[in-house]
Structure 1
Amino acid sequence: MSVYSMTGYATVQSSTAQSALETESSPDANSRLGVEIRSVNSRFLDLAFRLPDELRQAEPALRELLTGQLKRGKVEVRVSLESTSASNLRAPSSATLQRLGSLEDSIKSWLPQAAALSVADVLRLATNEDKKPHDHSPELLKLAKKTLTELMAAREREGARLADMLLDRTGQLRALAKLAVPMVPKLVEQQKARFLERWKEAMALSESATLPEIAQDRALTEATAFAIRIDVAEEITRLSSHLDEIDRLLADGGELGKRLDFLIQELHREANTLGSKSASLELTRISVDMKVLIEQIREQVQNIE
């Protein structure tokens, strides 16, 4: 499966043309329908619809369509409907004009001061009277499916880019861990030598004198305690295990954003522990570099579905 980003954008427009009979009876039969879908990251799936009033009835079907493919993200769906007819002005039918005249006479009999209908009023009322609404729902759903397909393709392309970036960062973390492993034994040997030297100075022994066995044992004990205190083998092992799991999830794809979030927290914990055990400037720098890389991973994981 692919890795999908929660960030994406797609828009599709289509002209809907009806028959001559439908066009004659419905001035908006020839129209341009547009669907725009944009999405950004979110912890859950959050859908928002911006639909014209005449298409409100299609919202449940659109919601079902989107929830069937999208799992997370803040998604906004905008639908536009524009008439492409040369003119919406049509000659009112005789029946319509007769009905408007009758209504006007009836109103004036009760309200003599009422203003007479203007030509603009007649055209507007006659257009609404003659208009037979056209159901655009089938065209809308068909166009929404196409737009959703393009959105998923955009999210997949962005997801592939994010996956490549994450794999690059996990590779850098492994390289830093590899640098840290041989530093600990070297530090232990250096500390052991320091302990022995301090014991020599404390006992005011010359370089030719033989260090008492008890002093050597004490130095070895101190060196062993120091080695245990700065040992980061477990942290490096766990960190490598987490990195392997991240690589596996990226290879498998699918809905993995929340699992990656958990693994990033574990990586932060191991890097912090490594830094707290640091007994040299080099190890401290490695810990800091790891934290920088992990933070870069965390920022990008927020965009993965």
Structure 2
Amino acid sequence: MRQSMTGFASHSGDHGDLRWIWELRGVNGKGLELRLRLPDRIEGLEPLVRSAAGKRLARGNVQVSLRLSGAAEEGASELDETGMARVLDAIARIEAAAGRRGLALEPSTAAQIVALRGVMASGQFSVDSTELRKALLTGFEAALDAFVEMRCREGAALHAVLSAQLDEIEGLIRDAAQAVEARRDEQAERLRAQLARVMDAADSADPVRVAQELALIAVKSDVTEELDRLSAHVDAAHDLLASEGPVGRKLDFLMQEFNREANTLCSKSGASALTQIGLTLKTVIDQMREQVQNVE
């Protein structure tokens, strides 16, 4: 099932007198980037979380956080004298450096310093760490299930939007083909005039150069290849949306090809009606590309 890269999920539970809550938040990204905020004192939890997430997610910037509370957690921290000394030394150096530059800093409060990493040391849980880790991992799997489910719902909505945009592009391609047919007589007259100008100078011109100029005139006014390639890109996009697994990067590359053909169509149109269709086509392609950025 198609997935979006955006989503949110949380799952809470308890183990003994310890309460916990998992939260997952995701936004789009080029690859899979997991940012974990886990308590340091639970050994072996991080690699298990990364492994579980890596099996279910392929792309996106995903922030995973675990919050613990309860008697076991509340009694698990104490002041780390060594860590506090390092933090205070760092604050003193920062304040001294700021003073040398004429900068005045507000004094730090005890509450602010206590909240800094390394000031409080972790003690031991009153519960078995192996069983706790197992319970937390089970909770994470449940949160991950909810997260993937939300991404799938978002992905289904994206699929519908992208399919509708592809249908609109198909309609514009048909309109462009009709506009090309409507301008055929006008185009033929223009080519005859251009050909006459070339032939007027043919007596003194290099025959090879004359042939090149005639070929160039024909190529500059023909948009058949552009329309054919646009139709092929529409088919390719439909196939990608119908396929299994992550397709976001392939769709993003395909959107670049869509845009290239639309630009060429506009530059070669030679008629206001065809130019207008080309501009509308570029607008729809741009809107579609924005949606594609969220596809896993």
Between the aligned partners of 1:10 and 1:266, the Cα distance in structure 2 is: 36
Look up the SS of the partner of 2:56 in the other structure: coil
Q: C-alpha distance in 2, partners of 1:145/1:170?
A: 36
- Aligned partner letter, 2:26: S
Give the 3-state SS of the residue equivalent to 1:71 in structure 2: coil
From the superposition, tell whether residues 42 and 56 of structure 1 become closer, same or farther in structure 2 (CA, over 3 Å).
farther
2:10 counterpart letter in structure 1? T
5+ residue gaps, structure 1, are 18-29, 89-127, 199-221
Cα displacement (A) at 1:54: 2.5
Partner of residue 100, structure 2: none
Check whether the contact 1:192–1:223 (CA below 8 A) recurs between aligned residues.
Answer: no
Q: 1:255 aligns with which of 235, 246, 250?
A: 246
Deviation at 1:44, TM superposition (A): 1.1
Pair 45,197 (structure 1): closer, same or farther in 2 beyond 3 Å: closer
Letter matched to residue 263 of structure 2 = N
Counterpart in the other structure of 2:128 = 134
Question: Paired residue for 1:286?
Answer: 277
Correspondence list, 1:1-305, <5 A = 2-17=1-16, 30-83=17-70, 132-135=126-129, 136-193=132-189, 228-305=219-296
Give the deviation of 1:78 after TM superposition.
0.5
Cα separation, 1, equivalents of 2:186 and 2:123: 96
Number of residue pairs aligned between Structure 1 and Structure 2: 230
Cα distance in 2, alignment partners of residues 279 and 10 from structure 1? 53
> What is the letter of the counterpart of residue 284 of structure 2?
L
Residues 186/292 of structure 1: CA separation in 2 closer, same or farther (3 Å cut): same
RMSD over aligned CA atoms reads 2.8
In the TM superposition, what is the alpha-carbon distance from 1:171 to its structure 2 partner? 0.5
1:129 and 1:54 map into 2 onto residues whose CA distance is 8
Partners of 2:43 and 2:289 in 1: how far apart?
39
Task: Determine the C-alpha separation between the residues in 2 that align with 1:83 and 1:272.
Answer: 62
Match of residue 216 from structure 1: none
CA distance in structure 2 between the aligned counterparts of 1:245 and 1:8, rounded to whole angstroms: 27
CA shift for structure 1 position 53: 2.9
Question: Structure 2 counterpart of 1:5, which letter?
Answer: S
**Could you say if the C-alpha distance between residues 223 and 187 of structure 1 is closer, same or farther in structure 2, counting changes exceeding 3 Å?**
farther
Please report how far the alpha carbon of residue 184 of structure 1 lies from its aligned counterpart in structure 2 after TM superposition: 1.9
Q: CA deviation at 1:228?
A: 4.5
Cα distance between partner residues in 2 of 1:168 and 1:227 = 35
Q: Is the Cα contact below 8 Å between 1:195 and 1:223 reproduced in 2? A: no
Q: Tell me which amino acid in the other structure corresponds to 1:182.
A: Q
Q: Deviations over 1:65-87 (max 9, x none)?
A: 111111111111110111168x9
Tell me which residue corresponds to 2:86: none
Residues 16-61 of structure 1: CA deviation (Å, up to 9, x unaligned): 23xxxxxxxxxxxx12111111111110111111112332531111
> In structure 1, the residue corresponding to 2:42 is in which secondary structure?
helix
Alpha carbons 1:10, 1:37 under 8 Å: kept? yes
C-alpha deviation, 1:246, in angstroms: 0.5
State the percentage of identical aligned residues.
Answer: 37
CA deviation after TM superposition for structure 1 residue 227, in Å: 5.7
Query: CA 1:224 to 1:58, structure 2 compared with 1: closer, same or farther past 3 Å?
Result: closer
Distance 2:285 2:220 in 1: 25
Separation of aligned partners in 1, 2:31 and 2:70 = 37
Rounded Cα–Cα distance in structure 2 between residues aligned with 1:82 and 1:197? 84
Taking a change above 3 Å as real, the CA distance of residues 194 and 42 of structure 1, as seen in their structure-2 partners, is closer
User: Bigger radius of gyration, 1 or 2?
Assistant: 1
**CA distance in structure 2 between the partners assigned to 1:137 and 1:42 by the alignment:** 29
CA distance 1:130–1:165, change in 2 (3 Å): closer
The CA distance in 2 between the partners of 1:129 and 1:79, in whole Å, is 18
